[in-house]
């Protein structure tokens, strides 16, 4: 599905999206009205989802009919010999990093690392004659002494260090490893979609510049602008919401250091839609000390709410899309699957990559 969809909706192409309308959440003053134009948008959006599902089915059928290659391990087969090496990487990660295939803190941080590496690219800086970063090029792990000291990357030095022996054991580029490890990590969380996996990315030769990773205290304007720049306009306000679906299995270690590992919703071990519901509830308490930069009050004891999640959930440009994810598991799965595909290849030429998504399994 990954290559098929990219040919129509890849990072270099703009496309029209529409939103599913939904009943407003009573805790918010902002209402998503069922206007005629919104209804027509909803029909278009459902058509897109149907198209994505059909593409997946066709791709699966195509893979089943395609002649497969026997891998050197004598156990696995693949549609492309370049994918054979990933079976050993997957099994090593599952056994020795993800505790036998669990949706653990290491899995959460591995998924976080995919975003922090890939989003560090800026065509706007390149237009000014400056180096704008290489996107999904592994620079955060190749130059950890530089990039993990950037403020938004604080705490990622731990997962980079944990992943280092795995990179050394396998003949895989650092860029490929980071994105593949993130895809395998999420596959351990019940309810998660199958994420794209590619090999063939080029590794970074220099670190990304500071200031390219959004912070939880940034305004919606700053975040929307940053993501649009990184994706050449593709990641707009709507796709920003899709990207934030990752927070359903996320936690914060350093926003409030007194309560490390505080989750963003009440079900951090499940890929579900509770994050979108709970973020809309009126906050009344902090899980720890409170008053930390980038944090606002949460509605549930032990749960940490990022200021950026709070404001994007209530911004007029994204609130309706945010609400449309509540109790819509299928949409959460399909839209994150879609947007992760494009995030994972930022700065890379998809024509140079081999699609190995078949290696990524998911739990039911």
Q: Which residues are catalytic?
A: 116
Helix intervals (H) in the chain: 2-9, 36-65, 84-96, 105-118, 123-127, 139-142, 144-147, 156-169, 174-187, 220-230, 237-243, 274-278, 307-314, 319-324, 329-343
Sequence-ordered list of residues with C-beta below 8 angstroms from that of 342, at least 6 positions apart, any chain: 6, 9, 10, 11, 231, 234, 235
Across the strands, what pairs with 199?
354
* Angle, vertex CA 209, rays to CA 203 and CA 214, nearest 5: 105
Any long-range contacts for 54-57 (C-beta under 8 Å, 24+ apart)? 55/1, 55/4, 55/5, 56/1
**CB contact at 8 A, 322 and 241:** yes
Whole-angstrom CA distances from 84 to 28, 61, 206, 270 are 50, 20, 29, 29
Q: Which helix (H) or strand (E) holds 77?
A: strand 77-78
Nearest residue to 236 (alpha-carbon basis) of 226, 250, 245, 246:
226
């Amino acid at each position: 599905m990954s290559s098929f969809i990219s040919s129509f909706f890849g990072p270099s192409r703009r496309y029209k999206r529409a939103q599913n309308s939904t009943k407003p959440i009573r805790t918010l003053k902002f209402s998503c009205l069922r206007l005629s134009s919104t209804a027509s948008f909803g029909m278009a959006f459902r058509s897109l989802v149907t198209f994505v599902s059909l593409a997946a089915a066709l791709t699966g059928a195509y893979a089943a009919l395609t002649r497969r290659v026997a891998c050197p391990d004598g156990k696995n087969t693949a549609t492309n010999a370049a994918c054979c090496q990933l079976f050993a990487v997957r099994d090593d990660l599952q056994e020795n990093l993800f505790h036998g295939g669990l949706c653990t803190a290491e899995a959460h941080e591995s998924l976080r690392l995919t975003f922090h590496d890939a989003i560090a690219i800026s065509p706007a800086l390149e237009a000014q004659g400056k180096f704008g970063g290489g996107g999904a090029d592994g620079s955060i792990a190749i130059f950890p002494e530089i990039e993990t000291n950037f403020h938004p990357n604080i705490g990622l030095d731990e997962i980079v260090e944990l992943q280092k022996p795995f990179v050394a054991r396998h003949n895989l580029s650092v860029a490929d490893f980071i994105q593949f490890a993130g895809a395998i990590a999420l596959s351990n969380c019940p309810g998660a979609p199958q994420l794209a996996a590619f090999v063939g990315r080029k590794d970074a030769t220099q670190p990304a510049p500071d200031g390219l990773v959004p912070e939880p205290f940034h305004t919606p304007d700053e975040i929307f602008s940053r993501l649009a720049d990184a994706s050449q306009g593709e990641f707009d306000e709507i796709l920003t919401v899709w990207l934030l679906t990752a927070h359903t299995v996320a936690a914060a270690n350093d926003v409030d250091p007194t309560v490390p590992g505080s989750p963003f919703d009440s079900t951090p071990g499940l890929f579900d839609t509770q994050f979108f519901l709970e973020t809309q509830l009126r906050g009344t308490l902090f899980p720890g000390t409170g008053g930390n930069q980038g944090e606002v009050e949460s509605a549930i004891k032990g749960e940490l709410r990022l200021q950026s999640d709070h404001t994007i959930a209530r911004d007029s440009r994204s609130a309706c899309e945010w609400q449309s994810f509540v109790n819509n598991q299928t949409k959460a799965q399909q839209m994150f699957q879609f947007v992760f595909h494009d995030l994972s290849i930022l700065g890379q030429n998809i024509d140079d990559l081999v699609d190995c998504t078949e290696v990524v399994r998911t739990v039911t």
